[in-house]
Amino acid sequence: MSEEASPHVAMVCQALSEFRPGNLEVLDLMHEDIVFHNEGVHRLSGTYRGRTTVFEFFQSVQDNSGGSYRIEIRNAMALGKTMVAVVARSTARRADQELDATAVHIARLADDRIVEYWVMQTDPDDSALFWD
């Protein structure tokens, strides 16, 4: 990993680690016009544009998981100077349902902010069972 890319990896990992209800500090790591792609086949899938909309999506994830949604980083690496890839495990529990999913997260950065972000589940059908 190059020295230039290393801070980007740390920043994306920090953003994932700080993902929790009401944490507004994570928004500082995002560009005002961020584009966030949540791939999948469930009701929270879609593209979210702008910091406010992305934060509302984050809040919806927490609301729909009873505040139990957690992310555990498994691996992270730089993809050149402007992109970062993270493999992470997501867990959540709601009533009699449990989520235990692996996803690949890709972040594109510019001016030390996340400008575009993709989340791709390794098993989108299984994730859909929890979120729908």
pLDDT in tens, 12-56: 998 888 776 566 677 788 999 999 999 988 989 999 999 999 989
pTM of the model: 0.89
Q: What is the pLDDT of residue 20?
A: 67
Q: What is the pLDDT of residue 49?
A: 98
| Structure-token pair, residue 45 | 């899938």
Q: How many domains are contained in the chain?
A: 1
| Domain of residue 13, residue span | 6-131
Strands (E), the chain: 30-38, 46-49, 70-79, 83-94, 97-110, 113-121
Nearest to 86 by CA among 68, 65, 109: 109
Would residue 54 count as lying in a domain? yes
Would residue 1 count as lying in a domain? no
Would residue 36 count as lying in a domain? yes
Would residue 86 count as lying in a domain? yes
Q: What is the pLDDT of residue 34?
A: 96
Would residue 72 count as lying in a domain? yes
Q: What is the pLDDT of residue 126?
A: 87
Would residue 125 count as lying in a domain? yes
Q: What is the pLDDT of residue 22?
A: 63
Would residue 78 count as lying in a domain? yes
Give the domain CATH number at 63: 3.10.450.50
Would residue 22 count as lying in a domain? yes
| Structure-token pair, residue 21 | 């209800």
